[in-house]
Copies of this chain bind each other. A is one copy, B any other.
């Protein structure tokens, strides 16, 4: 999704990919692994800026790039907090930002102790490597975590937050300091996976939006983030916001901006990492609803459904990632925009359903 934004601005995008078949193959692709020092260093030699569409490039490789003079944005000093949830929790707590109760645990006993103080159930997370519900489980005893404990890495345990819904604040920051944020959105989740985003989040009060933006601004500035930052938030039943996760890249909760905002998160990320002035983040219409296409159709391809989708929903924008359908996999998304939220949500959901029959 970065490629169209790069084409419009005439920016040459080069992608380090493990296979030529990966869906980014429309950009100039260098083959290699993001886990391999040599591959990454060779790739970085000919570009102006290195940036990311995931957080999994090891710190030692990132630091090697920085040491050799490559512009890495966001830098490893910031990306660290999107890579390691324990460090993230520590740092956000130091900054006084609202987070769930949490602890670092390494033994079953420590987990049991945390559970005693937090109602007998809690969320256990691996510090790194998790996404879309992976690396996260709810536990009621330390014994249930014996497999993760056995791996020997410290784990993050958190209170089960009594939340009303999940929100996300996406913001961009350029190295020289300017920030620009889109409206806070509601992120509807099922089994730990985002299924739908409503932009802006239908809010009981404007205060929530101000608090969300202020949290994201503090994170972006305090951690010296460059590029797009997504702050996933819990809105508690008593109307507080707690930071759930951070992502330092264009994020699923910002996909609506492609069709729904003056500047998309992908164009903004390019502007930000190139240290160019940021674009306007105003919504194009009062409401945007983005629905993920999860798994795809039982048989055939997404494109097989175009006749039905296009005839039924001529205003909906379809984004097909060109990935093979697989249960639960995000293979595309659809976005509808307009003035009436019910109508917009109906259109987007109806279109997405056609792709998942």
Contacts and interface: CB of A to CB of B under 8 A. Distances in A.
Nearest to A23: B10
B284 A285 contact: yes
Contact of A11 (B282, B303, B307, B337): B303
A311 interface: yes
Contacts of A310: 271, 276-279
Nearest to A284: B284
Interface in A261-280: 262-263, 271, 276-280
Tallying the copies of this chain within the complex gives 2
Interface string A304-331: 0011001100110111111000000000
A315 B276 contact: no
A249 to B, nearest CB: 18
Nearest to A310: B277
A229 B113 CA distance: 71
A203 interface: no
A3 B7 CA distance: 8
21 contacts: A3-B7, A3-B26, A7-B26, A8-B317, A8-B318, A9-B303, A9-B318, A10-B303, A10-B321, A11-B303, A26-B26, A26-B27, A262-B315, A262-B317, A263-B314, A277-B306, A277-B314, A278-B310, A279-B314, A279-B315, A282-B315
Interface string A1-42: 001100111110000000000000011000000000000000
